[in-house]
Amino acid sequence: MVPGVSIDRTFTTWLDDVEDRRRAAGLRRELRPRTPGNALIDLASNDYLGLVRHPEVLHGAMTALRRWGAGATGSRLVTGSTTEHELLETELAEFVGAEAGLVFSSGYTANLGAVTALSGAGSLIVSDAGSHASLVDACRLSRARVAVAPHSDLDFVRSALATRPEERALVVTDSVFSADGDLAPLVDLHRVCRDHGAFLVVDEAHGVGVRGAGGRGLVHEVGLAGEPDIVVTATLSKSLASQGGAVLASEKVRAHLVDAARTFIFDTGLAPAAVGAARAALAVLRREPDRAESVLDRARDLARFTGAGTPESAVVSVILGDPQRAVDAAAACREQGLHVGCFRPPSVPEGTSRLRLTARATLDADELARIETVLTDVLTGASA
């Protein structure tokens, strides 16, 4: 400690300096609590299938709440597992074509648990530069050697695996990248992994419910479902309108995670109401598989309104470059009744601050007409 300087003052000065720098760079963030009956048209959330207020989903949550109580009461290995959790694991695994499933308290903890438990000291992880922050953090916590591949660079992945001294290796990637909405080259990645004895871990957070037959995900769509050297992670908080995450893989991987995944062993189990909601949302999707294609149809509408290219997922990015420009455009949308995402560094690379629009299957014709009017007005102003 500097003589004569209090700890409190040192840290307060540091926090003030950091905040000033963030504010000057247009990177200061604020919480904006939603209120009941919010009249804004939502193009910012991840409720891709429009199920978050579906009567059956609410009923599923309430039924589980009454049956099991408000909380899981403990970790999954103590008191936090219910028959509801096991049913969800079975149903999710069957839906995506995996042998088994394991439910975590969030998609973030599912990624942390899977990657750290399957790697460790003396192994290699090759991670795509566009991977979600949860995969990045998992790599950092893994104690493995980490090689960050340029986005979708198969040659880099191949070289890293071929020249490694480590016996074990993982390749980790999103299936649908969350900022740009583009797709990973999963077939080629899997071929490279198999050629070099590596496991492929695929985060399907933005794939399940949108890509593949009836929303079964990109892994299923490209014919890789159930492969023993592929581990799928997923979230329940996007298309399935709830909370939580899951790892979907072989029975052998599931058994290993129960023994070794710290975010499973030491975390309180997912609340029963969230499990019940996710089961109900999955049931709706299975009964109404066209919802998945409707998401892509609405994404194409959003792309047409903004001049973006043909979308491959629910995500449509409108890159504006400067952070403040993106903040101002998002605020202008909000003033006209439209809630859009605003992504700035470190969520996206420097110089690519953007509006991030997310499609929803249930957007109607009146909403689409209003969206087109607002986006045309705001983007014309932003480019002036």
pLDDT digits (tens, 9 = 90+) for 117-128: 999 999 999 999
Judging by beta carbons within 10 Å of its beta carbon (0-12, 13-18, 19+), is residue 38 exposed, middle or buried?
exposed
Rg (alpha carbons) of the chain, rounded to whole number:
22
Q: Is the peptide bond before 311 cis (omega within 30 degrees of 0)?
A: no
Range with the lowest mean pLDDT among 55-59, 109-113, 150-154, 340-344? 340-344
The stretch 185-191 carries a mean pLDDT of: 98
Band of pLDDT at residue 32, cut at 50, 70 and 90: confident
Band of pLDDT at residue 212, cut at 50, 70 and 90: very high
Mean residue pLDDT across the chain = 95
Cβ atoms < 10 Å from Cβ of 12: 11
Contact 190, 220 (CB under 8 A): no
Looking at the chain, the whole-number percentage of residues with pLDDT higher than 70 is 97
Two tokens, residue 42: 């939502």
Question: What is the per-residue pLDDT across 287-302, written as a single tens digit (0 to 9) for each?
Answer: 999 999 999 999 999 9
Note the pLDDT of residue 34: 80
Note the pLDDT of residue 18: 92
Give the residue among 245, 243, 208 at the shortest CA–CA distance from 113. 245
Distance CA 166, CA 161 (A): 9
Is 170 in a helix, a strand, or coil? strand
Domains in the chain, CATH or no CATH each: 55-287 (3.40.640.10), 289-383 (3.90.1150.10)
What predicted TM-score, i.e. pTM, was given to this entire model? 0.92
Looking at the chain, the whole-number percentage of residues with pLDDT higher than 90 is 88
The stretch 215-228 carries a mean pLDDT of: 98
Contact 323, 353 (CB under 8 A): yes
Residues constituting the chain = 384
Band of pLDDT at residue 172, cut at 50, 70 and 90: very high
